[in-house]
Amino acid sequence: MEKPKLIATGYVFTFALVATLFFLWALPNVLNDVLIKQFQKSLELTRFQAGFIQTAIKFGYFCLAIPAGLYMQRFGYKQGILTGLLTFAIGCFLFYPAASSQMYFVFLGAIFIIGGGLAFLELGANSFITGLGDPATAARRLNFAQSFNPIGSIIGVSLGTLFIFSGNEPTPVQIAEMKATITAGGNAYIDFLQMENARVWPTYFAIGLLVLLIAFFIGKTKFPAITSSETSSAGEQKGSYRQLFRFPHWYGAIISQFFYLGAQLGTWSYLITYVQENSPLVEKQAGGLLIINMVIFMIGRFFATYLMKWIKATRLMGFYALVNMGLVLLVIFGSKWASWTGIHGISHWFGICAMMATTFFMSLMYPTNFASGIKGLGPHTKKGASILVMSLIGGALLTPLIGLIGDKWAGAIAPGMVIPFVSYVVICWYGFYGSRPAGPLYS
């Protein structure tokens, strides 16, 4: 019996082109982790307020996911991807007026538009890659394509650390001195905030230009039709939202994906904050650890893809979630905040390393949830996938909650990490039990 191919014959170039999108949408997603720290300084935000950066981008996903699915159902994946790229670029270019205004809600508006564009990209690219070959290799194929996502994450964090972080972190005493220094702009502190905000827009402007370049190449490329996973034997073409609830593995994936995004974004968004609370590192040094964190994520993706030759993807995800539950406990109780427990023998660097280690084990979760959730949906695939993309709202809701807990508990982010712990409990359940395909499955 012939072994099922990872990529359909003749579609390798198409696969490679669409895989660049996985790289591309990583840039703004990980730059949000830099913005959370930057805006706490330049816009004088609390941890809770800064967490709404993730809310803005994921709310964009949430609002545009179903329209994106309906649009692609009518016009196809290529047009949907092009629409997403143009929307993405517009959001990037809006960072210039946002920086000029120095108003947080204008930044949030630009980030929301970027999120709307990414909803089109992620829905189109994930669904397209899943259908670009044998269904038996869908999860492995999607994990392989997603392996290019961390490369974008590494570059994004590097750009943010080098070009957005100034390394200038004034103490309360220095801030008071700047406020007392009169300048043409009002005082030296206002001038400082203006300069810090102005550091943000050039990086996003450059990304917008790159997005337009990739849109040009995709516009010139012919896409194959993907119909095998979306056409039933009865000839149904449009699918039904109501019929989707006959597939428990699909709505289980929505629940699991919701909590996964809360765990991932919550961990990455506050990694720099956690590092600075538990070590003497300054923001640029902590940003360097975030870069290493993304390298770990990339290694984890490729390693998970390799293991899937022998281990079922969902079962591997269940084991990984169990490991992360233990690591998150180490993050919480290995922090300075937990000194009240009487555990003094552990170095706080164990907590930092444990937080970064969770990234390795979370690496396979998004594509595995996605591929498992749409398995066997037939004509309902695009609609099912669009709601799966909407589940990314978990990052929007749970990330500020982590920050809120951190603000309320003696100014430390460690207790907020209980949210990722609960998230991994849910993911573990889905990996071992909830992901089993059920319902009127299509071949």
Q: Which residues pair with 186 in a beta bridge?
A: 183
- The torsion angles phi and psi of 183, rounded to 5 degrees, stand at -135, 180
> What domain range includes position 260?
12-434
pLDDT at 410: 61
Residue type, 52: F
Pick the closest to residue 417 from 338, 364, 361 (CA basis).
Answer: 338
Whole-model pTM over 0.85? no
Say how far apart CA 399 and CA 397 lie, in whole Å.
Answer: 6
Within a domain: 1: no
pLDDT at 238: 62
Residues 6+ apart with CB under 8 A from 155: 27
Say how far apart CA 146 and CA 207 lie, in whole Å.
Answer: 20
Tokens of 345: 């023998």
Written as tens digits, the pLDDT of the chain (443 aa) is 456 677 767 778 888 888 899 999 999 998 998 999 899 999 999 988 998 998 999 899 899 988 988 898 888 889 999 999 999 999 999 999 999 998 999 999 999 999 999 999 988 888 888 777 777 777 778 778 877 888 888 899 899 999 999 889 898 899 999 988 988 878 899 999 999 999 999 999 999 999 999 999 888 877 877 654 444 444 445 667 888 999 999 999 999 999 999 999 999 999 999 999 999 888 888 889 999 999 999 899 889 988 988 999 999 999 999 999 999 999 999 898 887 766 545 677 889 999 999 999 999 998 899 889 988 888 888 788 888 888 988 988 999 999 999 888 767 899 999 999 999 999 999 999 999 998 888 86
Within a domain: 442: no
Within a domain: 441: no
pLDDT at 234: 42
Q: Domains in the chain: how many in total?
A: 1
| Domain CATH code at residue 249 | 1.20.1250.20
Q: What is the CA radius of gyration of the chain?
A: 22
Within a domain: 58: yes
Within a domain: 382: yes
Tokens of 117: 């564009």
Say how far apart CA 58 and CA 75 lie, in whole Å.
Answer: 24
Say how far apart CA 246 and CA 333 lie, in whole Å.
Answer: 42
Say how far apart CA 289 and CA 39 lie, in whole Å.
Answer: 19
| 386, 230 contact by CB (below 8 A) | no
3-state secondary structure of 183: strand
pLDDT at 228: 41
Within a domain: 439: no
pLDDT at 392: 84
Whole-Å CA distances, 74 to 67, 125, 374, 432? 11, 16, 19, 36
Within a domain: 5: no
Say how far apart CA 55 and CA 112 lie, in whole Å.
Answer: 8
Within a domain: 33: yes
